[in-house]
Amino acid sequence: MKNKLIVVTGGAGFIGSHIAETLARDNDVVVIDNLYSGRIENVPENVKFINADVRDFEAIADVIREADYVFHEAAQISVDESVRNPVFTEEVNVIGTVNILMALAEGNGKLIFASSAAVYGDNPNLPLKESETPSPISPYGVTKLAGEHYCRVFYEIYGVPTVVLRYFNVYGPRQSSAYAGVISIFMRNAIKNKPLTIFGDGKQTRDFIYVKDVVEANLLVAKKKKAEGEVFNVATGKETTVLELALKIIDLSGASSSIVFAPPRPGDIRRSVADISKLRKLGFSPKYTLEEGLKETFGWFKNEWKYF
């Protein structure tokens, strides 16, 4: 992909900034972010930055109409916050997505929409396939599913090319302290030799994927015409227990941290792993093992004390 006008919403955030950084090497990239959870330090120097909210159609419509591709990463991503404030989450995640789709309907660009494994809910039919009936168990999951439906409707009715990517547990550099996943929490504590707290018995599993592999998945589906109108899991297809993860991080960091077990958190699912055969058929293959991704991530956290 070269010499294209690309918009990355949420480009000051964790995943969005990695997408913007990669694409800015050969394209004109515009980042739209209101810095609610993103950081201006994450925005690459060689991109244009627009401080705007995706809920404000007039503020974002012109640049999106002109875009060749829009990578829509902007979202209220906290499940806990979605429970506390479902209306705000609805406004950002649903109205924001509709605004982008409406602007694209007036232009010629393609949308790659960041959805989430949260749409599946607590589904025991593992590994999870895209054909499973969604059953979200949080307002956040509901809003992501609504966004998926809007993508489908705008593709079918308005002819807007859309691709939906259901991210599983993404980790890597720049994952913010406010919305940290378990890996970044464990790493922060390990650096300080603090205990790593596991909620439950540690045998719960997740499908962890390194952020650079997520970027590659985004670029792949953007270039593939046959991906349009489709939904894809973005993961590794491998289960890792939280206890295994904690031990790997202690070993990697050389920390003297202990592991502490706490009561399970309400609503936590027991197991999660994706079937990624559909994305593999497009040519996707995760390049990073968990150990390789953890090593790169830990190297970044060690040097970024300002995040703690």
Q: Is residue 136 within 8 Å of residue 121, measured between CB atoms?
A: yes
Q: How far apart are CA 1 and CA 223, in angstroms?
A: 7
Active site annotation includes 69: no
Q: Which residues contact 171 (CB under 8 A, 6 or more apart)?
A: 181, 183, 184, 208, 209, 210, 211, 293, 297
Q: In what order do the strands lie in the sheet with 110-116?
A: 48-51, 28-33, 5-9, 69-72, 110-116, 162-167, 231-234
Q: Which residues contact 47 (CB under 8 A, 6 or more apart)?
A: 11, 20, 24, 29, 30, 31
Q: How far apart are CA 278 and CA 36, in angstroms?
A: 34
Of 171, 303, 296, 179, the C-alpha closest to 242 is: 171
Tell me: cis bond preceding 161? Omega within 30 of 0 counts: no
Among the listed residues 140, 155, 167, 288, the single catalytic one is 140
Query: In angstroms, what CA-CA distances link 23 with 69, 71, 149, 213, 274?
Result: 11, 11, 27, 14, 27
Q: How far apart are CA 36 and CA 19, in angstroms?
A: 19
Of 69, 59, 56, 58, the C-alpha closest to 29 is: 69
As given in the structure block, the two tokens for residue 250 are 């202690």
Q: Which positions are catalytic? A: 140
